[in-house]
Amino acid sequence: MSRHKKINPNIQTVLLWGGISLVLLSMPVIYGPPILGQQETVAFMQTFEVLLVTIFWTGIISIVCSEIYFFKVLYRCWSILQDSTARTTPGRAVGFLFIPLFSFYWVFVSIKGLANDANDFLKLKNANGHKISIWLSIATCIAMILPSVNLLISPILQNILIYQWASFFNYSVTNLMGDHK
């Protein structure tokens, strides 16, 4: 058995899109049901307010958990590269993303740098498959630093990118690391 547990990118997908769905489902908390009049909206809100608020916060928590999983996978991918092509440590790759203003630069080192270093690692091991897209990584970095785009586009790009990271990580652990039986 491998000492590295494989990455399941579906976890992030379910958390992210489940959270988004719950938040959208709870929108009557903010706007009220669109087909009801004023009196019906007030009655609806009084009846279902606790349920809708609970659904809303469950969705928010789910989205936050999907982001935590994204950072966990980023950390694990950097950990694979530590004995070869890594330009940074896993802790720095993730931790420096939380430094205000500096993170605008560091997101490119952490996410685009992972794509570069992972692809170099695969080339070094003569394994051409399971590469990480440089352009998708750059697009994700840009989306993560632009305020409006960050909330709308960044999660979608992160969701696509995490599948490439999982493919790289799982392939590397199974075929290149030499610690499987």
Cα dihedral 64, 19, 15, 108 sign: negative
pLDDT of residue 177: 73
Question: Using a CB cutoff of 8 Å and minimum separation of 24, what contacts does 75-82 make?
Answer: 76/4, 76/7, 76/169, 77/114, 77/118, 77/165, 77/168, 77/169, 78/110, 78/114, 80/4, 80/118, 80/121, 80/168, 80/169, 80/172, 80/173, 80/177, 81/114, 81/117, 81/118, 81/121
pLDDT of residue 112: 97
For 117, the 3-state DSSP assignment is: helix
Helices 38-80 and 113-124 pack at an angle, to 10 degrees, of 40
Its pTM stands at: 0.85
pLDDT of residue 175: 85
The answer to whether the CB of 177 falls within 8 A of the CB of 6 is: no
What pLDDT digit, counting tens, does each position of 114-127 carry? 999 999 999 998 88
Q: pLDDT confidence of 167, banded at 50, 70, 90?
A: very high
The answer to whether the CB of 111 falls within 8 A of the CB of 96 is: no
pLDDT of residue 39: 64
Residue 181 predicted with pLDDT over 50? no
The answer to whether the CB of 159 falls within 8 A of the CB of 136 is: no
pLDDT of residue 1: 36
Q: What's the burial of 144, exposed, middle or buried (CB within 10 Å: 0-12/13-18/19+)?
A: buried
- Which strand (E) or helix (H) includes residue 145? helix 134-145
pLDDT of residue 84: 83
Comparison of pLDDT for 148 and 135, the residue scoring more = 135
What pLDDT digit, counting tens, does each position of 14-71 carry? 999 999 999 888 876 555 555 555 666 666 666 777 788 888 899 999 999 999 999 9
What pLDDT digit, counting tens, does each position of 56-106 carry? 899 999 999 999 999 999 999 999 999 888 899 999 999 999 999 999 999
Domain boundaries, the chain: 10-176
Residue 26 CA to residue 98 CA, distance in Å, equals: 29
pLDDT of residue 3: 64
Cα radius of gyration rounded to whole Å, the chain: 20
Q: pLDDT confidence of 180, banded at 50, 70, 90?
A: very low
